[in-house]
Amino acid sequence: MASGYLITGGLHLDGLMDTFDGIFAGKKKLLKAMKDSKVGSFGVQALVFITLIQIACILKIQNLIIFVLPICLFWGRFSNLFFIEKFKYMSYKKKSISHKKFWNGFKKESLISIIFLLIFIAYQFVSITSQAILIKFLILILIGIFLSYSIPNILGNKIGGFNGDACGASVVLVETSMLFMHAILL
């Protein structure tokens, strides 16, 4: 967990905290709360709960983390493709750089990711010897598709679009949800 925080500079966690502060500030104060450099109580609570859930899941998964973590990270980041495709960009400023400025559509943007996913699935088919584990793996792939679509959809509808903070929140929530599902099913 710490290495992920260091690599990203805590960017996704900051987005999670800002998004929760914005959601609980209400529609009228949403963008103002997300822009505020001070973390509110809902942001802190979100960070604490997410961290505790992640720790518990990692303790449950233990040695399988080397197989589980890549797929959780994949779905977390893939979720942003759904976010950008479906929702309009929201900004604190009147002029800002939009994530959609160079957007080529979901099919083109997701092609490399889908190729990676297919290679990963093929590798799992070859390396997994137990039919029960293979079925669980395939179920988790389907859960990943569902979560990477539904979490940004819920967030986007709640805040009325997307921005960098909401994308970061989506990454963290999908990753944590996938970790949780792996901990339950494995």
pTM over 0.85: yes
pLDDT for 96 beyond 60: no
Cα(104)–Cα(111) distance, integer angstroms: 11
Q: End-to-end alpha-carbon separation of the chain, Å? A: 20
95 pLDDT band, cuts 50/70/90, is low
Other beta carbons within 10 angstroms of residue 11's beta carbon come to 16
Q: What percentage of the chain reaches a pLDDT higher than 70?
A: 96
Looking at residue 49, its pLDDT comes to 97
Instruction: Give me the residue spans of the domains in the chain.
Output: 2-185
Question: pLDDT-derived band of residue 109, with 50, 70 and 90 as boundaries?
Answer: very high
Contacts of 21 (CB under 8 A, 6+ apart): 33, 34, 36, 39, 40, 42, 43
For 107, the token pair is: 């099919």
Name the percent of the chain lying above pLDDT 90.
56
Backbone angles phi, psi at 90, to 5 degrees: -110, 140
CA-CA-CA-CA torsion for 78, 137, 154, 2, nearest 10 degrees? Answer: -60
pLDDT (0 to 100) of residue 98: 63
Q: What is the mean pLDDT of residues 110-128?
A: 89
The predicted pLDDT at position 94 comes to: 59
